[in-house]
Chain A
């Protein structure tokens, strides 16, 4: 059975472009160290759009202005000298210090050059939390961005189907990973129980949910009013 380690079609071996053989990192300094060469390329290419970059625990962090982040990621993905073909993660960080901006974080990996890059966008916590979606570049961003919306309330503009993923769609307590969200939830246990008992789980097992957008007008009156009420109540609770 040893023959299937040899690919029949264009097999993509990782690290073909890497200059040094990968090794376990040792004695990684907390600050400083060898930066990822892509950071310098980014500064040369995008100039002012790159706010700053630094190395922390051996990883290069680059802070990008929110207007440029989509272009930056697209360029990193498409440029033959960079080849960040793998989107590892999309997430966000909110600090305990209320004055610090919220950060949206993209972890990118170049399988050809064996590089790892962390891109960040800073958003003021009180302002609108809107960043462009990278789903047109990486289809794997779909659920990661939905989770980020679900947990932090960050809107990914251009995402075709941005709705809650881990929590249910009528969840009204807000965004759990925000620092102003208490560990036990916003509502009292009594209120949570009341809502759970009032929920109609059967309503979620229907054709209506599949084709909600296109079939809305042809739904029966009671279903339509229920959905409209859900929507209105949901947006009110999110403070929009």
Chain B
């Protein structure tokens, strides 16, 4: 027996004495006619809501559905339009990255890290080589450290930009999508100028970067940061106080702080619930503790707060980028360590020793000592960790990706149950999933 009262707002312009919107419940009378009116009329009529009993309906969202952001399938059991049960099915994009990694040298795995969370490819490259360098016992150069910070923050902006754009489209706003995808294009142009690739960057190497930035690249970055502030403000104006946007996001998919921690949430999902945990602050890497930036934290843990947190994170990323531009030192990018770094090309083609060195490194690969390490970084989705186990050979025994959106998505049944079907789209979008990372 359903006890829900379906309310429709027929007279939204009418306010009662207290200034609240007068809602008119839609009630079916015993004779079959519909009775509408304001609440007082409803109360005086003292009509019990009729039992609208029916079978539960089963709905499949996905695996091919534009609003699931990839090949995610949600099986929803509906009572009317309310979700009673949600069972997610994943794995449609499973490629066995971790298995393949066991058959590859460390530098050969870097291209695979592009392809898992493909909105954050540069960030994944950096996280992966940070783990390798811990394993090899290598300290990277100061210039490389700053370049990697720039790479990570650019990919954070890029990922959040795509999130805002696609989530806005899911909820029904198309304009910010176009504005903000122009900025994404600008970042892609910057990355193309730096490493030669746009999406699958493979921008790092164990012990350094694939390439130093070209001349004049910093000016491009500077003008991007300046221009991006404007786009961000425009998007902010378009969405933050927008009645439709807030109506579709406020109060949805709420996670309490303790729930969020217990389910292993990380990144904006966790911070929107009010837990100030950011790997960059709490377990810093790449000298993040020396940068001046704030970690935005939400209050309510709903979709709207996740949006606010991500918007503010983009501003903070701009702050970090500005500081990184200021402090970028001169000097070499790659470490001076022949164990991992290839000799320069002109030497490899002219000197016998360098050629042999080049050949050995490429064919046999660098060998870390036996050991294991887990290095976590703050990816746009949350805590992205690489757990690597080496037995002293050139290929890892185990290469484990700790995928933040995998763990974040696992809480979706908890978040959507009890909400309406259309809200499932907004809640699912708010998790910021990339199926490439979830299925790996």
* CB–CB B371/A140 < 8 A: no
Contact in complex: B275, A14 (CB < 8 Å): yes
Q: Would you call B99 and A205 a contact (CB within 8 A)?
A: no
A56 and B373 within 8 A (CB): yes
A11, A21, A116, A143: the one within 8 Å of B275 (CB): A11
Assess whether B299 is in contact with A8, with CB atoms less than 8 Å apart: yes
Shortest Cβ distance from A109 into chain B, in angstroms?
Answer: 8
Interface residues of A in 196-231 (CB under 8 A from B): 205-207, 209-210
A239 within 8 A of B: no
- Knowing A1-B312, A139-B263, A143-B407 touch, does A10 contact B376 (C-beta < 8 A)? no
Contact A183 B275 (CB under 8 A): no
Q: Which residues of A are found within 8 Å of B96, using beta-carbon distances?
A: 176
A66 within 8 A of B: no
A94 to B398, CA, bound (A): 8
Contact check: which of A7, A29, A88, A183 meets B385 at CB < 8 Å? A88
Give the complex CA separation of A88 and B383 in angstroms: 8
User: Is B58 within 8 A of A210, CB to CB?
Assistant: yes
Where chain A touches its partner, the secondary structure class is loop
Contacts of B139 in A (CB 8 A): 26-27
- Would you call B94 and A167 a contact (CB within 8 A)? yes
A96 to B392, CA, bound (A): 11
Q: Interface 1/0s, chain B 258-287, versus A by CB < 8 A?
A: 010111110000000011111001111111
Residues of B that sit less than 8 Å from A by CB: 58, 60, 75, 77, 85, 87, 90-91, 94, 96, 98-100, 103, 134-135, 137, 139, 236, 240, 257, 259, 261-265, 274-278, 281-289, 294-299, 305, 308, 311-312, 369, 371-374, 376, 383, 385, 387, 389, 391, 393, 397-398, 400, 402, 406-407, 409-411, 439-440
Q: Which residues of A contact B (CB under 8 A)?
A: 1, 4-5, 7-15, 21-31, 56-59, 61, 85-89, 91, 93-97, 105, 107, 111, 114, 116, 118, 138-144, 147, 151, 164-168, 176-177, 181, 183, 205-207, 209-210
A-B contact pairs, 9 of them (CB 8 A): A1-B311, A24-B286, A24-B289, A91-B387, A111-B261, A165-B90, A210-B58, A210-B75, A210-B85
A-B interface, 8 closest residue pairs, ranked by CB to CB distance from nearest: A140-B264, A57-B373, A166-B91, A143-B410, A14-B277, A140-B263, A166-B94, A13-B276
